[in-house]
Amino acid sequence: MIKIKGQKIGFIGGGNMGEALMAGLLQTRTFSPRSIHVFDLRRPRLSFLKDRYKILPALSIKDLLQKTTILILAVKPQDIKGVLTALRPLLRPHHLVISIAAGIDTAFFSKHLGGGVKIARTMPNTPALVGRGVTGFYTSKTLTKKDQKVVQKIFSAVGRVISVNKESSLDTLTALSGSGPAFVYFFMESLILAGQKLGLNKTTTHDVVVETFDGALRLLKHTHIAPSDLRTRVTSKGGTTEAGLQQMKQ
């Protein structure tokens, strides 16, 4: 159980990723419901989050900042500039600003918020929605070691956290962890379609593929054997697996 004592966290934006992070923070008891505040322009969404998680809705960005010390920017990249314009006159030295917006670097935040603001850039991937995410993070030099630990504790609530020393490395990590699930899903989709073409019904094929991926992943994590070695172990010379792999390589 991880707790961040004496601080309150505020979310600007209550979409899917913001909600996943709120849920993770509550489930791990990193924050209590009364320590989580959220502002969202969509009133029905704000009401939903309040009713479901018992968190505290904010009437405005100003109201949010007056009540919190940690700020999560959980809005779409195209909305970031407008949010930063509203934030700039309201931020105080104690505020820690954490962005989960893809593709917006720390230089952009410094330009629109002013120098000296404590900024952390993070990028959780979609498995964070079920607490199994990978979040890369990069922090500006304005953050203290304590601030960095706070960022790590927050995102540990939804999975694995990886700190990078160069901001360009965060983009590389995001390409792997962010796009990776889509590549996996595409491969699974292809196997399901192949199974159906060979005569299996959709439900059976789906279950077989999902369990195969789940079992393979569990075996990989349990044994700590390299993926290439595990692949070799199930590839008999002249067999169907070898033939299939040759087709994939082509």
Q: 123: which strand partners?
A: 136
Q: 160: which strand partners?
A: 134
- Do 33 and 93 lie in a common domain? yes
In the predicted model, what is the mean pLDDT of the chain?
A: 93
Residue 62 lies in a domain: yes
The residues, ordered by sequence, that sit 6+ positions from 189 with a Cβ below 8 Å of its Cβ are none
- Do 138 and 39 lie in a common domain? yes
Could you list the residue range(s) of the whole structural domain that residue 31 is in? Answer: 9-173
The reported pTM is: 0.86
- Do 61 and 123 lie in a common domain? yes
Residue 189 lies in a domain: no
Residue 190 lies in a domain: no
- Do 237 and 113 lie in a common domain? no
Residue 188 lies in a domain: no
Residue 151 lies in a domain: yes
- Return the pLDDT at 249: 86
Segment-wise mean pLDDT, segments of 10 residues, the chain, 250 residues = 78 94 93 96 94 95 95 94 94 94 91 91 92 93 92 94 93 91 96 96 96 96 95 92 86
Which region holds residue 194: left if phi is over 0, alpha if psi is between -120 and 50, else beta?
alpha
- Do 79 and 117 lie in a common domain? yes
Question: What CATH number has the domain bearing residue 81?
Answer: 3.40.50.720
- Do 53 and 159 lie in a common domain? yes
How many domains does the chain contain in total? 2
Give the other-Cβ count within 10 Å of 74's Cβ.
24
Residue 58 lies in a domain: yes
Structural tokens at position 112 = 């629109």
